[in-house]
Structure 1
Amino acid sequence: MTWRGVNEIGVEDVPEPTILNHHDIIVEVGLSATCGSDLHLVGGYIPAMRAGDVLGHEFMGTVAEVGPGVTKHQVGDRVVVVSFIGCGQCWYCRQGLWSLCDNGNPNPGITEVLWGQSIGGCFGYSHAMGGWAGSHARYIRVPYADQGAFAIPDGVSDERALFASDAAPTGWTGAHQAQVRPGDVVAVWGAGGVGQMAARAATIMGAERVVVIDRYDNRLEQVRTHIGAETLDYEEVDVPAELREMTGGRGPDVCIEAVGMEAHHPGPQYLYDQVKQQMRLQTDRPTAVREAIYACRKGGTVFTLGVFAGVVDKFPLGAVMNKALTLRGAQQHGHRYIPEILDRMSRDEVTTEHLATHVMPLDDGPKGYRMFKDKEDGCVRAVFRPDG
């Protein structure tokens, strides 16, 4: 499945991948999921996409070929692969900051200009992030396989293991890096796959109350049923006021933003942000981040887990400074968290099958992305089977 232009996706034949490095494996993809961050690519908000680029970065499958330097995997192994590419040898990987790998992005120039330094590479996520072919395909080449591919325990279904690739470790990154502590009140903006997994991670880390904010009834119902967290519909209530009421007037200890650069909001600031984004006067709509900053208690932590590309307007830096907030963000350091997640999946402490609301053949990819983008038929995630 390939990107052909802004809001245009196609399915076409591409050359099959081959082993290029001794530490590569080739994975026959079993399942590959859409991700909310893909919509930024489809909509043209992320630079450096080229017609014919293969999309997809959340996947699992079976090892089909193994490079001579690989020691942890054999042909036939069932594996889940982290979406970000880390070498395991550079300074950042050794610090556990895997998505910042110095060697995972062979095309660092674009992100050096955007952000001052390059971060790691990501499957199927533009040439700014390395130009790696994505997972919406029959086969995919996985570099640094001993670091980035993980054996799936017996008894963990393909549908469950799939979300250990990106949604679950991204959620774990947010909760862990925000330093959720026992007794905390945690608020999560966004009830998609990543927001749900951030809420589940916060609960496992001991949070006393976890509240997830969204506007879609089916996603909020999933949060209550499968995650065990409380919910707020931001179109029905004043979210900061409700959070203060729930916390004795203080506000949450930790606020995790899991929405990203195309955030929606019922207030007038949404139109302001949308116009400026469409005119390219700013790259991102930071509505949810703003609300999280204003809602967070004094001395609390705000973590930006949704994907942002560049610059925003009307950022409340004064609130960050004067409220003594800790503001953090990250792409996922999944290599750190996937072994724990798979173990918890094997013990039914983390369940994710409910996220795969629509499973279909790869040939139906354009339909799947349309359903995912427009939330048709309650679509939370469209999942593709390359073998049909």
Structure 2
Amino acid sequence: MKALCWHGKGDIRYDTVPDPQIEDGRDVIIKVTSCAICGSDLHLMDGYIPTMESGDVLGHEFMGEVVDVGRDHKKFKVGDKIVVPFTICCGECYQCKRGNFSVCERSNRNGEMAKKMFGHQAAGLFGYSHLTGGYAGGQAEYVRVPFADVAPVKAPDGVPDEQLLFLTDIFPTGWMAAKNCEIEPTDTVAVWGCGPVGQFCIKSAILLGAERVIAIDLVPERLAMARAAGAETIDSSQENVLERLNQMTHGHGPEKCIDSVGMEAHAGGSIDAVIDKAKAAAMLGTDRPHVLREAIMACRPAGIVSVPGVYGGLLDKIPFGAAMNKGLTIRTGQTHVNRYIDDLMHRVLDGQIDPSFVITHRAKLEDGPDLYHTFRDKKDGCIKVVMTP
């Protein structure tokens, strides 16, 4: 079969790879009908996530038709179309029983490696390095789905893929980020980053009743999409974000702040961002946490900083004294997709939201290598890429 594979920093190829096979009785094999490039895939492309190996199949946003089932599998049958969350979970461990699906204790095949990095292991993830289990991803013609009797959900008949595909990751990710804020009707919510996850943070904060949402970015197309969603905007390339947020909130700061950027923040010529970039280039540091620093400094005392943006290593010069002395709550984590997917599916079917609004580019899988670069370099107004094998 064909798939998009990682071969080193900046090197994504459309390769021929072996077809997946049933390995466990709970598995299913699906023929992928739609998949997408996620912003966190760019961290893999740019070499910021360790333990990638040449030839690894990428992708964790995908759905498709079941073509084979394991001997013990009873949930789906051949011909069913299913939506597959990016988190792989067993449904039986301590964490799964508590709804903490992204920290499943059994699905990461390389748990010992993860323990050395993080102190404890988290769940296996599709297409996201050997640190998270080394599972082949969904930017491919076919995918093996382990523990398929737990996380995947059946797609309703007659609903286009584009309305369901983002239930695999970015819609629940934006929703969990907003839920973690405990939004109240008088709240101002500031969202850093107007990429796909940021757009769903904005939509989710509005659906959850925030009085105001202020979106921060430096890409005109993304800021325009945020305004169309109902947010006020700050262009970080033109204005001092902290000063502008204080002006807009009469000196109080936003009650809730969401960092939907993560480890590869761009911040123009700010001193901390220049130092971060230099350290990363010299292999003296990993992540570039300019946005996290700014969110902590901007947040109103006793507020919440929610971090759906991906971080991979050690962060430098985080103003933790500000977080502690202002009494901030910080919440983060990979998304517990199955905690939210049923609710969000109903919201889509009820017409509260059409998640396809973020799509700017549609293409064939074979176009993926070029589109990775288009997406990363923010060319051609690219905000979200959906591909069909």
TM-score scaled by length of structure 1 = 0.96
The residue type equivalent to 1:237 in the other structure is E
- 1:103 is aligned to 106
Residue aligned with 2:258, SS? strand
2:38 to 31, 35, 40: 35
Aligned-pair CA distance for 1:116:
0.9
Partner of 2:245: 243
Residue in 1 that maps onto 2:271: 268
Asked if the contact 2:362–2:385 (Cα under 8 Å) also holds between the matched residues in 1, the reply is yes
- The question of whether the paired residues in 1 share the 8 Å contact of 2:199 and 2:358 is answered with no
Once residues 171 and 307 of structure 2 are traced to their aligned partners in structure 1, the CA distance between those partners, rounded to angstroms, is: 16
1:21 to 1, 24, 31: 24
- Counterpart among 353, 356, 373 of residue 353 in structure 1: 356
Q: Note the 1:214-229 alignment, pairs <5 A.
A: 214-225=217-228, 227-229=229-231
AA aligned to 1:229 is A
1:128 is matched with which residue: 94, 119, 131? 131
Farther off after superposition, 308-317 or 353-362 = 353-362
Q: Does structure 1 conserve the Cα–Cα contact (< 8 Å) formed by 2:10 and 2:46?
A: yes
Partner Cα separation in structure 2 for residue 75 and residue 336 of structure 1? 26
Task: Provide the C-alpha distance between the structure 2 equivalents of 1:281 and 1:182, rounded to a whole number of angstroms.
Answer: 44
Deviation at 1:230, TM superposition (A): 2.0
Computed over aligned residues only, the root mean square deviation of the Cα atoms, in angstroms, reads 1.3
Distance 1:111 1:308 in 2: 14
- 1 CA distance for matches of 2:232 and 2:33? 34
Alpha carbons 2:263, 2:309 under 8 Å: kept: yes
* Cα displacement (A) at 1:164: 1.0
State TM-score, norm by structure 2: 0.96
Cα distance per residue 1:73-132 (max 9 Å; x no partner): 222222211001111111111111110000120101222112111111110001011000
Contact 1:156–1:345 (8 Å) recurs in 2: no
- 2:122 maps to 119
Match of 2:336 among 322, 333, 339: 333
- Taking the aligned partners of 1:71 and 1:205, their CA distance within structure 2 comes to 36
Deviations 1:232-266 (A, max 9, x none): 11112222222222223211111010001110002
Secondary structure of the residue that 1:343 maps to in structure 2? helix
CA contact (8 A) 1:2 1:54 kept: yes
For 2:125, give the aligned amino acid: C
Counterparts of 1:175-324 in structure 2 under 5 Å? 175-225=178-228, 227-266=229-268, 267-324=270-327
Q: Which moved more, 1:144-153 or 1:331-340?
A: 144-153
* 1: CA distance, partners of 2:62 / 2:155: 12
Aligned-pair CA distance for 1:281: 2.0
Q: Which amino acid aligns with 1:115?
A: F
Match for 1:45 among 29, 42, 48?
48
In 2, Cα distance between equivalents of 1:297 and 1:175: 16
Does residue 77 in structure 1 map to residue 83 in structure 2? no
**Cα deviation per residue 1:245-300 (whole Å; 9 max; x = unaligned)?**
22232111110100011100022221111011222222100000000000000010
Q: CA deviation at 1:49?
A: 0.7
Q: Structure 1 unaligned runs (5+)? A: none
Structure 2 equivalent of residue 8 of structure 1: 11
Please say if residues 167 and 194 of structure 1, whose CA atoms lie closer than 8 Å, have aligned partners that are also in contact. yes
Give, as a single letter, the amino acid of the residue that structure 1 aligns with 2:370.
K
Q: Could you tell me which of 366, 378, 386 is aligned with 1:375?
A: 378
Q: Aligned equivalents of 2:371 and 2:16: distance in 1? A: 19
- Contact kept in structure 2, 1:155 and 1:346, CA below 8 Å: no
Give the counterpart letter for 2:276 in structure 1.
Answer: D
**Equivalent residue letter for 2:289:** P
- Provide the secondary structure at the position in 1 that maps to 2:373: helix
SS at match of 2:216: strand
Q: How far, CA to CA, are the matches of 1:214 and 1:96 in structure 2?
A: 33
Partner of 2:257, secondary structure, is strand
- For structure 2, the residue ranges without an aligned partner over 5 or more in a row are none
Is the counterpart of residue 141 in structure 1 residue 147 in structure 2? no
Q: Does 1:362 align with 2:365?
A: yes
Which segment drifts farther, 284-293 or 231-240?
A: 231-240
Q: Hey, what's the Cα distance between the residues in 1 that align with 2:154 and 2:250?
A: 45
- Specify whether residues 71 and 229 from structure 1 end up closer, same or farther in structure 2 by C-alpha distance, changes over 3 A only: farther
8 Å Cα contact 1:269-1:287 kept in structure 2? yes
Number of corresponding residues: 385
Residue 153 of structure 2 corresponds to 150
Cα distance in 1 for partners of 2:351, 2:223 equals 21
